[in-house]
Amino acid sequence: MDNFYIFADIIICIKKYFLVRSWLLFLFIIPCLRLAAQTDSSVRKEPAVQAAPVQVQRAPGDTAAKPVKKKVPVVKRDSTGAIIPASVLKPAAPAAPAITPSATPAVATTPANTGTHTDTTQQQAVVPLKQETAYDLFLKDLTVKNIFLKMNKPSRLDVNKIRVFEDLDWLVYVMAGVVLLLGIIRLSYLKYFSDLFRAFLNPTLSQRQLKDQLSQSPFPNFLLNVYFVISLALYLYLLMYRQQYINSNTAWMAIPGLIVLVAVVYGVKYVMLRFCGWLFGSAELADAYIFILYLINKVLGILLVPFLVILAFCTPELAKAFMYISIFFIVLLVAYRYIRSYSVVKQYLSFSRLHFFLYLCAFEVAPVLIITKVLLVALTGGL
């Protein structure tokens, strides 16, 4: 019994499948029949009477595309309203164009032997070009007049090197510290300053009297010696910087090195003078020469301060001029030191001027030239 029901269900499902399939086929066939009927009617329809295409007259140099006009056939009727066939009608003679003696024809007909055939399809209308506005005319005029907007403008290579930024803020603080230190020393030891310049400007005063007056203040004497070392080291650094032997990036190493170099040179010189005075039994003469030497050095350290400020912050042209002026003052002070030394030494010893000149060349000028040469070779690499 169960098998019977199962078999019946299978039969019902098969019937439903074929019924749905028939409906689907019916729904698909109806549009196809309609499309076939339209296609058949369009095939059987007689073609419409087409008029012969009319050739468009063009000028010889006219290449623009022009639309082709189609001639519509004229239909005539009689009095009863019936259509008169075209065979009965006689073709009308074409009217001759009116020719004026003063005017020339604007267009010429296309020759028959050109071999070109007329396009019978409908051509699209020519879109007119964009008209130039006032803004477009302004841009064209600007392009013609402005050299930077020209197409074939002359090209120039930029040969200017990019300036490397150098942070020189530290130099402001160094110069301010140097000036501030000099001001503190002067305000703290005003009497020592007055005695120092009085001894410098009055060489005829008693040597022992000047020495005793200045030796009463050993600490300001030491401070001014240190100040001379710092001032001369900064002056040498600024000279090399302005002459482009070194750059500002090496200042943290160059300035301390120059300070140590100047201190070592004058320290060794002091020791050698003391040793020579003890060795030859002329300690008093050595003391007098050392006093004159360091007196001129202290005055030189003070006089270099304005030149330090000018070399640090002025333009290259002005700094170069003051550099030569400072060198001139240094040469004058050195010459003044040797003149005073000669007059003092002449009181203790009897010697010729030639011997004194040989001493200056061997122990004063030659060491300075050798040290300068060594520094230049070390900084420039032997160039």
Q: Are 178 and 234 in contact (CB under 8 A)?
A: yes
Mean pLDDT value of segment 6-35: 73
Q: Are 288 and 215 in contact (CB under 8 A)?
A: no
Cα-Cα-Cα-Cα dihedral sign, residues 241, 173, 302, 313: positive
Write down the pLDDT at residue 99. Answer: 46
Q: Give the DSSP per-residue string, 21-62.
A: HHHHHHHHHHHHHHHHHHHHHHHHSPPPPPPPPPPPPB-TT-
Q: Is residue 62 part of a domain?
A: no
Q: Is residue 107 part of a domain?
A: no
Q: Is the pTM for the entire model greater than 0.85?
A: no
Q: Is residue 285 part of a domain?
A: yes
Give the range of the structural domain holding residue 339, as residue numbers without chain letter.
226-350
- 72 burial type by CB count under 10 A (0-12 exposed, 13-18 middle, 19+ buried): exposed
Q: Is residue 365 part of a domain?
A: no
Q: Is residue 42 part of a domain?
A: no
Q: Tell me the pLDDT band of 82, cut-offs 50, 70 and 90.
A: low
Q: Is residue 165 part of a domain?
A: no
Mean pLDDT value of segment 280-297: 86
Q: Which residue has the higher pLDDT, 155 or 219?
A: 219
- Look at the chain and report how many structural domains it folds into: 1
Q: Tell me the pLDDT band of 146, cut-offs 50, 70 and 90.
A: confident
Express each pLDDT in 109-136 by its tens digit.
444 444 444 454 455 555 556 778 888 8
pLDDT at residue 193 greater than cutoff 90: no
Q: Is residue 14 part of a domain?
A: no
Q: Is residue 207 part of a domain?
A: no
Express each pLDDT in 256-266 by its tens digit.
989 999 999 89
